[in-house]
Amino acid sequence: MTPRFVALAVVLLVSACQGAAGARPSPTPSPRPVPATARPPVDAILADAQVGLPRTGGLDHIGVLEAAHTQLNQAAALDLYRSWGWVDQATRVWALGSQDSEEWLLLTVRQDGARRAFTFYSDQRAAATAQAGPCGAAATALDECAEWQTESGTTILGRRGPFVFQLTARGADADRLALLQAQKLT
């Protein structure tokens, strides 16, 4: 036998013996958290019968790319919406005579994302109108709520868990509609 062959045999024998003794059991995988499921916005947005006005428009299943596409700075909007964990959005418009209401409902992956979306839309709305006032009855059923009164109607922005919604009503009871929406999100 050559010295090279003997050295190789010794190395193999030593590593084979140490491999079994030095092996550690693989750690038991920890259970993965089960994500809470939320209804898609199309199922959670106010129903036409709840509003009491005929629907005149709306969109369902608005994804992050479609939402960003409607913005002036699409790249910045896409980054912002993704940072919230944007999942899906639905919109509705109802009108009859001098009464009309419109709503959008956004679902995010995380409550933290919904908080940041709420803050963004609240700041955006406050910059365009006066300071937000206290919410009506809907506030008790929401995690966050802001309300703006203008000459043409009332706008309520609300957050419940991973959902954010904005409801604007003219000639209709915005507080009642916001409370109904909050209850649908529980």
pTM: 0.79
Return phi, psi of residue 11, to 5°.
Answer: -60, -45
pLDDT band at 151 (very low <50, low <70, confident <90, very high): confident
Instruction: Tally the C-alpha atoms within 13 A of residue 9's C-alpha that lie toward its C-beta.
Output: 6
Digit-coded pLDDT (tens) for 74-131: 999 999 999 999 999 999 999 999 999 999 999 999 999 999 999 999 999 888 776 6
Regarding beta strands 153-160 and 163-170, do their DSSP bridges make them parallel or antiparallel, or are they unpaired? antiparallel
pLDDT at 14 > cutoff 70? no
What's the pLDDT at 2? 52
d(CA 62, CA 160): 19
Residue 49 neighbours by CB distance under 10 Å: 7
User: Which amino acid belongs to residue 15?
Assistant: S
Domain boundaries, the chain: 54-184
Task: Enter the DSSP assignment of 133.
Answer: B
Identify the residue with better confidence: 8 or 3. Answer: 3
Per-residue confidence band for 133, with pLDDT thresholds at 50, 70 and 90: confident
More confident residue, 171 or 132: 171
Residue 164 has pLDDT above 80, yes or no: yes
Are 46 and 103 in contact by the 8 Å Cβ rule? The answer is yes
Closest CA relative to residue 108, chosen from 87, 78, 80, 81: 87
Give me the pLDDT at residue 134, please.
85
Q: How many residues does the chain have?
A: 186
pLDDT tens for each residue of 18-57: 444 444 444 444 433 334 578 999 999 999 999 999 999 9
- Return the structure tokens found at 126: 């406050």
CATH entry, 54-184, from 2.40.128, 3.30.450, 3.90.1200, 3.40.1000: 3.40.1000
55-75, pLDDT tens digit by residue? 999 999 999 999 999 999 999
